[in-house]
Structure 1
Amino acid sequence: MAIPKTKIITGDCLEMLKTFPDNHFNLIVTSPPYADSRNNTYGGIKPNQYVKWFLPRSEQFLRVLKPDGTFILNIKEKAINGERYTYVIELILEMRKQGWLWTEEFVWHKKNCFPGKWPNRFRDAWERCLQFNKSKKFKMYQESVMVPMGDWAKNRLKKLSKTDKIRDNSKAGSGFGKNVSNWVNRDKGYPTNALYLATECNKRAAFSEECLT
């Protein structure tokens, strides 16, 4: 199998993106330094300056992203003195003013999160993966990431009641409903917006022998 050509460009994204034309990229994924993090590498961005620092970059992302493309932002609020900063929420609101649509939020559950104990909170085991788009009509290949139905379907779908064969709306009047019979003869279903992935703990080779054969 031929390996697609990859071009790696190093530099400040704020400057590098200015060299690309409008509507150029299909997908942009970034995990920027969080507030007061990576001080030795990036200099550290204070929480009350974070939104102002990030908006020029998101402005360039908006310019170079194709109309049907997607931007994923991996970010997390920081807790200091028992309280979460609000810079992520403030950033979402300002990006919407910038022209972005906040279309989805994925929860990244880090299965090997940092151990420890804090007096007023539990271990930080998740991060946000915020999805932004320029248009409500963007490319999304849901069928390519379908997952097995699971063992629950074997017994649950053997004998369906009358209610299972119609759209049974919530008795609370929420508007939600389900038709259990729609799952019959299905081997796969669509995944949820929760990502259960462990973080990388050590350096690994870019390619293995298996990748090259």
Structure 2
Amino acid sequence: MKRLRTPAYYTLRGGTYIGDSRELLEELPDSSVNLVVTSPPFALQRQKEYGNLDQHEYIDWFLEFGRIVHRKLRDDGSFVVDFGGAYMKGVPARSLYNFRVLIRMVDELGFFLAEDFYWFNPSKLPSPIEWVNKRKLRVKDSINTVWWFSKTEWPKSDITKVLAPYSDRMKKLIEDPDNFYTPKIRPSGHDIGKGFAKDNGGSIPSNLLQISNSESNGQYLSGCKTVGIKGHPARFPAKLPEFFIRMLTEPDDLVIDIFGGSNTTGKVAESEGRRWMTFEALPEYVAASAFRFLEKGIDAGKIQDLYNKIVSGKSVNIEDYRKQTALVL
């Protein structure tokens, strides 16, 4: 195993690396990673600026990464992948590429499907334009499939770390179960008592994750505006990796994103006290992603300097820029 190359930028807990994820993964010890959570370029028919492949090529391409990830995961590790849906070329019929990936990951690479999740993004724009907006033949596509793969049948997991807030009705039931609820027997014969009225700190979440993806401000986009570049066109919201990082890892576990983009995963992992590594092939995306780790108040010159250094190939300690931020506040 080769020593991992120098990060483009780093913090006390992790770093971002420029290069092909397949090569970077190979530099890690086998059975060393707790969680890989990522959102790869989708297999869309229309080319996007961040790169994507034809749907038929895509599956073989993605399995190259999956094969390596399987070796690098610990036995209780997980691989969580966000896949967007797509249509077949030229017709209003859905592609099955994301389901074909799922089946081949299990049948050929030895992964287990721990659970399937569905990310509902209520702020997603109506698409595809041809079938939804113009011809009005299909409803808007607001769901992404999120596959939770595991290396063995028993991955590390703790749903008490991701409990959802109780509804107002449930809060009333917990406060006064005798006056608010009368136990009944369901048609199935199941006897529902009052035992579930116990306060467990929250309700069990479902595998339908309703998370809006409508970031319009924040340090990342502010930094991009400062240096005159566009933000990454396919960012996912922080609450998506946050859910899986909290549920599937513990503090100091290693979390990796193999398609880093704007490095939402790394920032969340840092905030949650996890060690992290992010891999991204394009230096411009990597340089801009460093803005996520800055605080408000840093001047434009320092932001531009940070971006220029990373693009030019220098390795930057983000902590130095945090200290500089503190000085100007």
| TM-score, with length taken from structure 2 | 0.55
What CA distance in whole angstroms lies between the structure 1 residues aligned with 2:53 and 2:194? 52
What CA distance in whole angstroms lies between the structure 1 residues aligned with 2:70 and 2:126? 37
Quote the residue 2:203 is aligned against: 189
Q: How far off is 1:130 after superposition?
A: 0.8
Do structure 1's residue 208 and structure 2's residue 226 form an aligned pair?
A: no
Do structure 1's residue 91 and structure 2's residue 101 form an aligned pair?
A: yes
The 5 Å alignment of 1:8-47 reads 8-36=16-44, 38-42=47-51, 44-47=52-55
The 5 Å alignment of 1:1-213 reads 4-36=12-44, 38-42=47-51, 44-80=52-88, 81-97=91-107, 98-115=109-126, 117-118=132-133, 119-153=136-170, 154=172, 157=177, 158-163=179-184, 168=186, 170=188, 177=190, 179-186=192-199, 187-202=201-216, 203=221, 205-206=291-292, 207-208=294-295
Of 186-195 and 148-157, the range deviating more from structure 2: 148-157
Equivalent residue letter for 2:196: W
Q: How far off is 1:11 after superposition?
A: 1.2
Equivalent residue letter for 1:128: T
Q: How far off is 1:111 after superposition?
A: 2.1
Cα 1:143–1:33 change in 2 (3 A) is same
What CA distance in whole angstroms lies between the structure 2 residues aligned with 1:179 and 1:20? 50
How big is each residue's C-alpha offset from its partner over 1:58-103, in whole Å with a ceiling of 9 and x where there is no partner? 0011111111011101002201410111111111111111100011
Q: 5+ unaligned residues in a row in structure 2: which ranges?
A: 1-10, 223-290, 297-321
Give yes or no for contact 1:169–1:178 (8 Å, CA) kept in 2: no
Q: How far off is 1:145 after superposition?
A: 1.6
What CA distance in whole angstroms lies between the structure 2 residues aligned with 1:137 and 1:169? 34
- For residue 119 of structure 2, give the secondary structure of its aligned residue in structure 1: strand
How big is each residue's C-alpha offset from its partner over 1:112-166, in whole Å with a ceiling of 9 and x where there is no partner? 11136342211111111110001121111211222232112225943543536xx
Structure of greater relative contact order (alpha carbons < 8 Å, 6+ residues apart): 2
Answer 1 or 2: which has greater helix percent.
2
What CA distance in whole angstroms lies between the structure 1 residues aligned with 2:203 and 2:114? 21
Answer 1 or 2: which has greater strand percent.
1
Q: How far off is 1:40 after superposition?
A: 3.9
Q: How far off is 1:208 after superposition?
A: 3.3
Cα 1:20–1:169 change in 2 (3 A) is farther
* Count of residues in Structure 1 that have an aligned counterpart in Structure 2: 201
Cα 1:200–1:21 change in 2 (3 A) is farther
Give yes or no for contact 1:14–1:57 (8 Å, CA) kept in 2: yes
What CA distance in whole angstroms lies between the structure 2 residues aligned with 1:194 and 1:93? 21
Q: 5+ unaligned residues in a row in structure 1: which ranges?
A: 172-176
- For residue 16 of structure 2, give the secondary structure of its aligned residue in structure 1: coil
What CA distance in whole angstroms lies between the structure 2 residues aligned with 1:178 and 1:31? 43
Cα 1:77–1:7 change in 2 (3 A) is same
What CA distance in whole angstroms lies between the structure 1 residues aligned with 2:141 and 2:191? 34
Q: How far off is 1:183 after superposition?
A: 2.0
Quote the residue 1:174 is aligned against: none
